[in-house]
Amino acid sequence: MAIQHDPRDLGTRLYAAVSTRSPNTEPTSFTDALAYFRRLAGGSVRAMSTLMGVPRRTLRDWLAGATPRDASKRRAIAQSATLSARRDRLKPGRESRLRGNDVEDVIIVARYNYSDDEDEREVEIGRYLDADTIDHLVDSYLNGTSPADLRLEFADKITGDETGFYTRTFANPASSDDGWTVRVVRL
């Protein structure tokens, strides 16, 4: 069963800005991982076995409904599928364009939850970010960082904000009164 991420959360929007997909669609369980690798292998057990690095007999057992007794093995296979799916989704051309973008161009369209003002605003956050922020986000995405952790890592990269307002409030989830309800992140 896939983890459901809040579509208004900064971390979820950062994930979508990098991958152009929702994090709710990536394989997160052992069963999801088997389905992902089967699709990737075109249904071939031999190719699937090679992709996953497990013997065909074991794989056939798993496809028949058996599961590894060791929970860490199930988690490792799910994590492997997640990382593989992320790498597959971020095509080389898109990765190159993202890494070539100027951090000054980063804009967040959002509404600050604490304010009585219901209007969204465009926050030109790029001027407050470290120069390597976009590269760091892409690397974190490819390394399997969760959307919630992406949000925290992004907030840590806001170093030019002398008051600390953006650093503090962008670290909070969308459900927080002192957070942001984010519609889009433009990298």
Read off the pLDDT of residues 128-143 as tens digits, 9 standing for 90 and up. 998 899 999 999 999 9
| pTM: predicted TM-score of the whole model, two decimal places | 0.86
27: pLDDT strictly greater than 80: yes
CB 28 within 8 A of CB 20: no
Which phi and psi angles does 177 have, rounded to 5°?
A: -65, -25
Predicted local distance difference test score (pLDDT) of residue 115:
80
- Whether the per-residue pLDDT at 163 is higher than 90: the answer is yes
Whether the Cβ atoms of residue 182 and residue 13 lie closer than 8 Å to each other: yes
Q: What tens digit of pLDDT does each residue of 104-117 get? A: 899 999 999 988 87
Q: How confident is the model at residue 2 (pLDDT cuts 50, 70, 90)?
A: low
pLDDT of residue 57: 96
* Percent of the chain with pLDDT strictly greater than 90: 81
